[in-house]
Structures are given as structure tokens and as C-alpha cells.
Amino acid sequence: MKRLLTILTIISFLLTASASMNVLRAADGHSLWFYTAYPQYGIGYGTDDSVLPKTMQEVIDKEYDALQNSGDPLLKDAKLNLWRVFSEMITLGEEGYDIYNNNGTIQIEAATEKGLLYGIFAAGRLSATGKLPKKGETIQDKPICPLRILNHWDNLNGTIERGFAGRSIFWGKPIDDKTILEYARANASVGINGTVLNNVNSSPQMLSDENIKKAAHVAKILRPYGIKVYLSVNFASPKVLGGLPTADPLDPDVREWWKAKVKDIYEAIPDFGGFLVKANSEGQPGPGDYKRTHAQGANMLAEALDPYDGIVMWRAFVYAADSPDRANQAYDEFMPLDGQFRDNVIVQIKNGPIDFQPREPVSPLFFGLKKTKMMPEFQVTQEYTGESIHTCHLASMWREFFDDIQYGGASIKYPAIAGVANIGDSPTWCGSDMTQVNWYAFGRMAWNPTLSPKQIAEEWLMQTFSTDRGFVKPMTKVLCESREAVVNYMMPIGLHHIFAGNHHYGPEPWYAPRGVRSDWTPPYYHKAAADGMGFDRTATGSDNLAQYPEPIRTKYATAEQYLVYFHHAPWSEVWPLLCSHYDKGVKQAEGFARTWTEMERYVDAERFAAQKRKFDRQAMDAWWWRDACLLYFQTFSNMPFPKGSPAPRFRLDDLQHYTLRMDNYTAADIDRLPVPRQ
């Protein structure tokens, strides 16, 4: 009898555990941050997925149904009111909303349908995170930045430049309406209201009739979610596509060609947003080919778009070959043009003056331009921060950007903010589950740049994985430390651009083959020599510091985190700091892997296993970065590793003869690596 009772007790326990485990629904990451928010709803529209919403009101109705099915008793009786004449609502603008707890019933109110839609998504987010207003309380919100735009670097053949999540969802194959619908909903849920469908390295064929028709089809699906479509254009399109002998922006025929093309686009896409342009940069054609300025080129396009309220986003990412200091060039080239751009031109400036590095100072253009509209450009896809393998919560990078902007005396209220998308056709959308956080974070911070990385991390984790504090607390810590860890084990104390030559995943501080322009090689930036390391950007060097106003100039000049970015410092100062940061970065990455292992009971088996591989690889790669950089720089410093610093796991000659990269990564790749020393 005792044995039978024991068996029954075990069976009962197993059944209870099985029932509990059923809560952890199998997932491939495709649900994004709707996993816990709408457990009964999913990301599609029930059995009606094949029917696309025709109007925003249909979207509102469906999202309202989703709220009622969410399981939250407060939202089950939610009341939606569209008050177009109520003065309090009008003060919230076209996109703001009010969420009010009226004696236990949640009321969502807005002045427009778009605001109401954002309010519904906000209510779902607040429900999932347990932050709906209490009785008598009101939550009001509206975006600080009017235009919040994803930039897709997607090519017409379906490939994605710096894309680490498969192929394009727009180009290279027939458009899957359901995928675009899911994409639209995800963007709207975090406040993104615009998308550039193609690469800034644009093909003139983007403006062919066939491709405009495809863009119009995508625009039709996105429109009910309040999302406008934009296109990247090639400045030489009048020559290549139009057959004109020139693309000179002052040529009358060229101007007329653009006006006619813009007219065709608006006939196909009535709410078309405008153009994004990369010109005279990295081989792209531009007005400089005809001895014209960036302002003259941008203004020509702006003139064609102006009757339709379209805008031109003109990128300031320009640099010439073999210049004394690449960090100076955008400032030097655009400052003389301040005040010369038309009102519907926005100069799009990368957050830093180099190129989306794990850490770099704010671009000085944000402080210098006074009469020109500007917009920051962030990189959501992790080109320089571990691609789709390494976890790196970029909200802390963007928080640092906005904090420095304000510290330097400038405003963070920009007319637009752009983020280079990390989205592809992989099941997880972004190549891994953890890298989805940056898509979410970009939308939330573009809406409100004052949000903290911690708040964003908690929101995302609770909606994407689990609301259990046993999961949320430790994983929030991982996310909030992740970007600093990446800086530590990749490029601490101001090191920048020391990546491998033909990709940007692994380290190759030694890369300097003959025939390659110097500013595409790491030695141009780290300048390691017998006397020390670092790029002198003070008055005795390139004087890049002079482009910054006080007090940000002094902050940058004295900050340890920018030591070798602004100074050529002696090894006696640099070497101990390098070793300390690299060692810390390795420990952090290994700690992330251990923490994730402890999260197994909170996460479905599919996503747990997939992400465990990523964290394990990140920890291994951190060692690779640490050993490659320290062993290489030690050949210049000739200094021993400090006491307590672990011995290298790899040999420098092995590291220099094996390229660390993620392309076509499989389990067998680990076996092919040089064997660490025991």
C-alpha cells in the first residue's frame, strides 16, 4: 500500500508539473512581444488572416477584441471613445492618447483614430506588465518625435546589407501579405510610423514602374496601422533610368524628370512619405559629381516632393579616402551649408562621427548645425555589436546619446528619428530571440527618448517571455549590462573600428593589407606604436575636440571611456586599463550564459535551447576578442599581463590565421576553432 501511494504521489506530481509546463507554450520567436500580452490571440487575426484590414477602424476593432481576450479583467470591459472635439484630447495631438480607470473600467480616449490605436497597444503593454492605472488614475502619453522611421537596407534581389536575419520580407520574392500585416502590427505597437523599404545604397531600378507598384502594395497593408512608406533613391536615376545625359541637380530636364517621377509615385501611393538619400558617400553618386553642394542636391528633390508634403532625408555620412581624420569630415562638409536646406529637408546624421561603433561620442554636427533640421540615425541591426548572436541591449547606447546631447546644451526634440532595421524573414524576425529587444527599444525610445533602458528591458521581457520576477529581475540585469559588456570585450577605453577587414563580426586589429585605403584598416584608428596607442584628436592632432562646445568638450577630453579615441596615451596608462576591461568583459559574457541556464524553467524549451547556443557562443567570442586584442597590443607595449589577469586561451598566430565570423554558423564551427591552451 505504501508503495502504491508513493507511485500515485509521483504520478500526481508529474501531472501537475505537466499542466504547469503547458503554460510555457512552444514558440519559435515569431510572436515577438505579443507572447504574454495576448496569449489567446496570437499575432494573426484568428481564422481571418487572409482578409487584410481595409481601414484603421477595422484595425481598431480587431485590436479591441484582442484586449478583451487578453485575460485581464480590467480590459475585458474596456471602453473606447473617439472624441475629436474634446479639448483635452486635442492637446494630445494626432497620436496621443488617454487611458483612464473609471471605477474599475479602463477607458481609452484619443482625438484621432491613430491616437486611439496607439492607446489600445499601450493598454495591452500596461496590462502585460501590471501597470494599468488604478481607480481614478489617468495615463496620458504622446510622442516627442513626430516621425519614427525604420530604414531597411534591403536590396531588390532580396538580400539585406548588414542583415543577419535572413532575406528581405519586401523584395526578391512574392510579397507575403500576412507577414507584412504582422510587421505592421509590431511596428504600430511600439509607435513606429514610417518605413524605408530599400537600401540606402539604392539601385536606380527602385523607381521602375514595377517596383513602385510593389511598394504601393506594401503601403496598402501598412496604411491602416498609421505607417507611411518611404523609398531610398539613387541620385543618378535620371541618367540610368530616365536616359538623360546628366543628373546635375541644376539641370532643368533633371528637375522635371524628378517632378514627373514623384507625381507617378503619389498616384500609386497617395500618402507616400518621401525619399532617403545617400549621396557622394562610399562610391554613391551625388551632386558633388557635378560640383554642386549637398544642399543643392537635396533641395532639388525637396522641390519635387513639396507639393505633396513629402520630405527628403539626406544622409550626412560622408568621408573621403585617406583623410587626416574621418571623424572631422561630416562636420567640415555640412557646417558651411547650415541654413541652405529647404524646409522639407532633414539631414540624417549617424549618432556618432565614425560608424555605429559599440561606443563613440555624439556626432559634433548635432551641436554645430543651428539652422538646419536634423534627425539621428541609429543602427538597430547589430553590425558592430555581435550581429544576431551577441545579446547587446542598444537602449543604453541610445540613452547615452540623448544624455550627451542634453549635456552639450542641444535639444532632443527632433522632427524625425531613424533606425536601421534588424528584420528579415527568419522565424524570429531578427535572427535570434534576444536581438528582438532592439527593434522594440528603438520604437519605444523614438516615441519617448527619456525612457530608461531598464524600463524598456522589463517591458520587453515581460511581454516576450515571462512575467515571473524570478525571470524578469535577473534577465533585466543581463540586458542592462550587455552593451557595456560588449564594449569591454570588444573595444574599451575609446578603441574603435578594429574589426576584421571583410566583415564586422570578429577582431583583426592587425588588418592592413596593401592596396586598401587606410581608413578601412584598424591601424588608422588605434595607432598602436612603441610609445603608446590612440588617435590624437586634441589641438596637437586633428583637433576634432574643437568641434564640440563646452561642457561636452571637457567631458569627452577627460573621460576614461574615450581615452584612446581622443588621445595618444602611453602604455603605462593604457595597458592596465585594457587588461582590466577585457577581463571584465569576458566575465560578464560568461555570467550572461550562466544566468540564462538558470532561466530554463521560465522559458519554453524551443527558445531556451536556441538562445542558450547564442549565449554560449557570445562567451566564447568574448575570449576570442580579449586574446586577439591583448596579445596583439602586447607586441607594442611589451608589458606583462597584470597580476590576477588570466592567461590567454588562444595563441596570437592561431588568431591571426583564423577569421572569427558568424556566416553560416553551425555547431561544427566551434570544433574547427584553434584549440584553447589548457
Average pLDDT by stretches of 10, the chain with 678 residues = 41 35 75 78 46 86 88 90 69 94 94 94 95 96 98 98 97 95 96 98 98 98 97 98 98 98 98 98 97 98 98 96 91 98 98 98 98 98 97 98 98 97 97 98 98 98 97 98 98 97 92 93 98 98 98 98 98 98 98 98 97 96 97 98 96 88 52 49
Q: Given 177, 355, 606, 669, which residue is catalytic?
A: 355
Q: Which of 488, 441, 485 is nearest to 461 (CA)?
A: 441
Residue 339 parent element (H or E): none
Residue 527 CB burial class (10 angstroms; 0-12, 13-18, ≥19): middle
Q: Given 61, 282, 531, 560, which residue is catalytic?
A: 282
CATH fourth-level superfamily of 488-534+569-672: Alpha-glucuronidase, C-terminal domain (3.90.1330.10)
- At 562, the amino acid letter reads Y
Euclidean distance between CA atoms 86 and 90, whole angstroms: 6
pLDDT of 50 reads 56
Q: Given 383, 459, 481, 616, which residue is catalytic?
A: 383
Tell me, yes or no, if 459 is annotated catalytic: no
β-bridge mates for residue 109, sequence order: 81, 98
β-bridge mates for residue 639, sequence order: none
Check whether the bond before 270 is cis (ω within 30° of 0).
no
pLDDT of 322 reads 74
CATH of domain 147-452: 3.20.20.80
Domain boundaries of the chain, sorted by first residue: 25-141, 147-452, 488-534+569-672
Euclidean distance between CA atoms 372 and 523, whole angstroms: 35
Q: What are the φ/ψ torsions at residue 20 (nearest 5 degrees)?
A: -65, -40
pLDDT of 174 reads 96
Q: Which of 165, 190, 201 is nearest to 37 (CA)?
A: 190
Tell me, yes or no, if 616 is annotated catalytic: no
- Cα 594 vs. chain centroid, distance in angstroms? 26
Euclidean distance between CA atoms 208 and 242, whole angstroms: 10
Euclidean distance between CA atoms 23 and 2, whole angstroms: 32
Locate cell 497597444: which residue? 121
Q: Which of 582, 501, 488, 578 is nearest to 533 (CA)?
A: 578
pLDDT of 191 reads 98
In the DSSP assignment, the letter for residue 347 is E
Q: Which of 632, 637, 625, 626 is nearest to 512 (CA)?
A: 632
Euclidean distance between CA atoms 552 and 359, whole angstroms: 16
Q: Beta-strand (E) ranges in 536-653? A: none
Q: Is 25-141 a CATH 1.10.150 domain?
A: no
pLDDT of 69 reads 83
User: What is the total residue count of the chain?
Assistant: 678
Tell me, yes or no, if 387 is annotated catalytic: no
Q: Residue 527: which residues within 8 A CB-CB, separation 6 or more?
A: 533, 534, 535, 536, 568
β-bridge mates for residue 195, sequence order: 150, 229
Q: Residue 577: which residues within 8 A CB-CB, separation 6 or more?
A: 492, 493, 560, 563
Locate cell 550587455: which residue? 482
Locate cell 569627452: which residue? 556
Spatial contact of 340 and 331, defined as CB atoms under 8 Å apart:
no
Q: Residue 370: which residues within 8 A CB-CB, separation 6 or more?
A: 338, 339
At what angle are helices 113-128 and 56-68 packed, to 10 degrees?
A: 20
Q: Which of 180, 173, 232 is nearest to 207 (CA)?
A: 232
Q: Residue 410: which residues within 8 A CB-CB, separation 6 or more?
A: 366, 367
pLDDT of 503 reads 87
Euclidean distance between CA atoms 585 and 619, whole angstroms: 9
